[in-house]
A and B are shown apart, each in its own frame.
Chain A
Amino acid sequence: MPTAKITFFTALLALVLISGCSSSAQVQVQSQFPQVISQPKPINGVIVFSEEFQNYIATPSKNTTIDLGVAQTNLLRNAFSGLFANIEFVSSSDQVSLENALIITPSVTEVQISTPSDTYLNVYEVWIKYSLDIADADGQQIDSWFMPAYGKTPNSFMLSKSNAIEEAAIIALRDAGAKLLLDFYRIPSVYNWVIEKEKQEAQK
């Protein structure tokens, strides 16, 4: 075989092998989340899931996108149902119909990832930073609560980059649900609002 042909096939083989090492990943997070075990408070809550939030696609690095929209909406829908006895989900604040409700608008502030090539650790990690804008029925802001969530894969062995990031993102979303249920009523401004509401109800 002529040398030119051997060189050509070797170059082609090398190109195919190198393209297999490409580090780009488009991740679609698809997961069913379990029903929360919780005793909701007798409070009205309206959750505003904007179109942007429901279709949110994060770009934590130039080669990676994570489609979180559907998964995070399902997760938060489930988690908020464990907080409020009466709950309404809307896509904009002008659709609110529940009276005397806490109106919560979640948004994603930032999504970060770290891969074994960044940290030299054998794990993939995902951080999702949420912001919850909490307002009363009159539209007065009660608080803007920063809610970070974190997830990591146990190890990266035999996992493709996409699968590993998806697994870490699912763990981060579950962590967001846990943080919300554990800490929401501990936010001082929300706690005070609830106490005030209870006092008003008692006076009626």
Chain B
Amino acid sequence: MNYSAILSGTLLIALMLSGCGATTTIDEYRPTTKAMQINSEESVVILGRRDAGHYDTDREFIDCVAKKMEGADIQVLPERQFIDSIYPWFEPRTAPKGLKRLTRLMKNPAIKKQVRNQKLRYLVWIDGSTNTHDRGGSISCAIGPGGGGCFGFAQWEKSSIYEAIVWDLSDLTEKGRLRVDSTGTSYLLGVVAPIPLLTPVKNDACTSLGKQLKQFFSVATNSAQNNSDSSD
């Protein structure tokens, strides 16, 4: 009897945990299938769009994508460091929304000098947010002199939608676009103690976007780069 109860309990938990996976879709657009060349001394900066009224692309997500990319020998410049180094031209009010405006900015010798000093080659804009919707169920907790506990069941769905656009600062062109769409449902069971079964939707979106962005780039060593330059 005990064994069957334990087995049923384990099965139930396994079943619920299996329902906690996120579904992630990535769409990619690149004008060419060739990987983007980046010198080992050059760097990439990942920036969040913060000009929309109702949401901000959060810094936590930007840092997460930057960490995922760093693993591929790509030097990633911290977002805050870059924005401060070029203040006030990448604030929400002033950041270029398109290549035309970027081209105009890069005509400013002081801005160009800052970009060169930091050996910055690519700029990746990330725009999007994670939202919670479709909340359901209810859970209530109570405490009294004799003890306390929670009873009930709640669930909610989260969706993370982010778009990344890669700009090449050497020729001021767009090199590609990526869109990640991740959804998943989380649960909270109240069986005396509250048991959260959370789906890491945002983390899944970050991992997928970071991995895919990494594949955009191909790191060339200085000697290889020089050889290819001389053969041209």
Contacts and interface: CB of A to CB of B under 8 A. Distances in A.
A21 interface: no
A37 B111 contact: yes
Given A154-B58, A154-B59, A155-B58, A34 B84 contact: yes
Interface in B65-106: 84-89, 91-94
Contact of A35 (B54, B56, B87): B87
Interface in B103-134: 108-111, 114
A178 B93 contact: yes
Interface string A98-133: 000000000000000000000001010000000000
Nearest to A121: B54
A182 B93 contact: yes
B93 A175 contact: yes
A152 B84 CA distance: 18
Contact of B86 (A37, A154, A174): A37
Interface residues of B, number: 21
Contacts of B114: 37
B137 interface: no
A84 to B, nearest CB: 16
Contacts of A141: none
B148 interface: no
A190 B33 CA distance: 51
A33 interface: yes
Nearest to B94: A178
B94 A174 contact: no
B31 interface: no
B145 interface: yes
Contact of A34 (B85, B111, B145): B85
Contacts of A152: 56
B59 A178 contact: no
19 contacts: A6-B145, A37-B86, A37-B87, A37-B89, A37-B108, A37-B110, A37-B111, A39-B109, A39-B110, A152-B56, A154-B58, A155-B58, A174-B87, A174-B91, A175-B91, A177-B88, A177-B91, A178-B88, A181-B88
Interface of B: 50, 54, 56, 58-59, 84-89, 91-94, 108-111, 114, 145
Interface of A: 6, 33-39, 79, 121, 123, 152, 154-155, 174-175, 177-179, 181-182
